[in-house]
Structure 1
Amino acid sequence: MIDLRGVWLPQIIGYAELIADESVLRASWFEHDRSRTSVTDFDELYEQIFGGLDVEDQLGLAVDEFHDDPEIVRLVSGFIDALRKLDQIVVKSGINHQPERILASAEWFAVRERANELDVYAVRRKYRSDLTDNKPTVVSIR
């Protein structure tokens, strides 16, 4: 079983930071700069969060683990829901490999808003104390 507080949540928060800032993703997606993230495109971002971190199952467990802080669960859930909605649009419209269209979409804006809310809360509540500590790496829990 994965350590939700020590591994899973910091990784989710790291992805939220990555998305909220967006500059690293832009460098990776448009300039093929792989020096700061392994997230090479939207499909990879989705796979790392939904596959590697098994967010669907772990989010259910997080409700119990973070019973003392339901706000963090609400914010993570909102972030995940926004990503899921964006994925549905990306798949439906076939723009998987068109980062300019993804990043210009209203759904991406919603994802960034949820990511920023989560990131700010995480820093305030000291789930992450430094803005550069928890850049996501690929951690598979399966």
Structure 2
Amino acid sequence: MSKSTATQARPLSPHLQIYRVTPTMAMSIVHRITGGALYFGTVLFALWLLAAATSQAWFDFVNMLFGSILGRLVLFGYTWTLIHHMLGGIRHLIWDTGHGIEKETSTRMAWVTLIGSVALTLVVWVAGYAVRGGF
């Protein structure tokens, strides 16, 4: 049997080359990625708690790993991921109330989410180093 002409003439679904990336679309994608990345960060946090519950040597080893340049970079990324995902969740909560759905407002909220997450991450790390007594 051959296919009918109605099935053959159907338009194809839009693909990524058709869409123009908007701030709202980018923040939606980043929100999903940060949600997945939080699983990895939670495993690191659980490892740290496990080390604290076992022995001083294991705890010192994990602290040494997290205190290295690479470890601090990973922890900085985890902090940003956590804050960015939280702000994205607040943005979605506001949308659930019916506010901020307009195109201009949602674009502005996407930029505020990005800028706010970077600023709050820096504030958390500067405050943490200030409490700790420096770098």
Range into which the TM-score falls when normalised by the shorter chain? 0.3 to 0.5
Q: Which structure has more helix as a fraction of its residues?
A: 2
Q: Quick check: which has more Rg, 1 or 2?
A: 2
Query: Normalising by the residue count of structure 2, what TM-score does the alignment of the two structures yield?
Result: 0.33
